[in-house]
Amino acid sequence: MLVGDLILDEPDPDRFFDASLAVLTQADVLAGHVEVPHTYRGSQSSVDVPAPASDPRHLDALRRAGFHVATLAGNHIYDAGPAGIEDTVQRLHDLNIQTTGAGMHLAEARSPAIVERNNLRFGFLSYNCVGPRESWATSAKPGCAYVKILTHYELDYATPGGPPTVYTFADPVTLEWMQADIERLRPEVNVLTVALHKGLGHTPATLAMYERPVAKSAIDAGADVVVGHHGHILQGIEVYKNRPIFHGLGNFVTVTRALNLEANASPERLAWAKRRRKLFGFEPDPNYPVYPFHPEAKNSMIGYCRADQNGVLEAGFRPCWVQSDGSPEVLGNDDRGRAVARYIEKITHESGLKTNFDWSDDRVVFLEKQN
């Protein structure tokens, strides 16, 4: 099972998994994306909008919820500097949660997480596609693994100062790094998942130009599954070469007050909280005090894949709904679950993806390989 962004920035984080625990603990392998550093030390090291570091003890909630893997390559993982990387990775390893995507140097950040279950080996790799540059690891600097995305603005009509067409594409060198990592890991595992921190924040049903090519290049190199996160809102699903791509798993447990306007002690975060409402055209629901995201981000999912020695046999999702306290509730094949499933189908098709969805008991299936 696979979930999106995890931010555990509230006391007693175990309670936010109460409504999903019974489903999560059924997974043979459960992976999610840890968005922010967890440390008592370190200093602000980002020139982007810095996320506050969380209490390392909050990560214990992931172990109790059944997580086996944490992907770490994202735009906030270096916000507390080297100490944030070191302490987050160490705490997760102490909890027997494998990590990938961040480390004390680039080779460590590019190293996979490998989990063995039921005579199968599951491999995971994680890459940040959204910057900032300060978050990237080097041979001598802690940080995250990354694929560098280039942006070109083209004014392609006769209106100087008007809105341009935006072209985004992957830098070939770092894309080849990712592909080389996948090719190196491929012979060692039965199922290979690549997590990409990518996409447009807080924007429904929109994929940037680079997203599909980068995801497809991962599959071309040997990945069985590609998952995306970062936008804090669900994105569409597609099947490429009979393998699943979850373009945006959205939020799962992402509880924080760092983006609230009220009692925000950080000038940078307060300015961003104001600016993003104008940029993305939404107001967070005032009834969701620890969940300051787009109203459509209440729709969530747990992605799942069923696999054997030959790779993924079936892929789908369990629809979820984020409740007013910030905890995701897992839904089934009822009115509420079908409403979330219809939303996921709608944003998929609005993104130009032609995926078909069918219910199977309490989950939605979009890939089922024939024997």
Give the pairing of strands 113-117 and 120-128: antiparallel
Query: Which residues does 13 contact at the CB level (< 8 Å), separation at least 6?
Result: 58, 61, 253, 255
Which residues are bridge partners to 131 per DSSP?
A: none
What are the backbone angles phi and psi of residue 107, rounded to the nearest 5°? -60, -40
Q: Are 216 and 244 in contact (CB under 8 A)?
A: no
Report which of 126, 256, 136, 252 is spatially closest to residue 197, judged by C-alpha positions.
Answer: 126
Which residues span the domain enclosing 143? 2-368
Task: Specify the number of domains making up the chain.
Answer: 1
Lookup: tokens for 55: 């209490």
pTM for this structure? 0.96
Is the backbone of residue 283 left (phi > 0), alpha (psi -120 to 50) or beta? Answer: beta
Per-residue pLDDT of the chain (371 residues; tens, 9 = 90+): 999 999 999 999 999 999 999 999 999 999 999 999 999 987 777 667 778 899 999 999 999 999 999 999 999 999 999 999 999 999 999 999 999 999 999 999 999 999 999 999 999 999 999 999 999 999 999 999 999 999 999 998 888 989 999 999 999 999 999 999 999 999 999 999 999 999 999 999 999 999 999 999 999 999 999 999 999 999 999 999 999 999 999 999 999 998 888 878 888 888 888 888 888 999 999 999 999 999 999 999 999 999 999 899 999 999 999 999 999 999 999 999 999 999 999 999 999 999 999 999 999 999 998 76
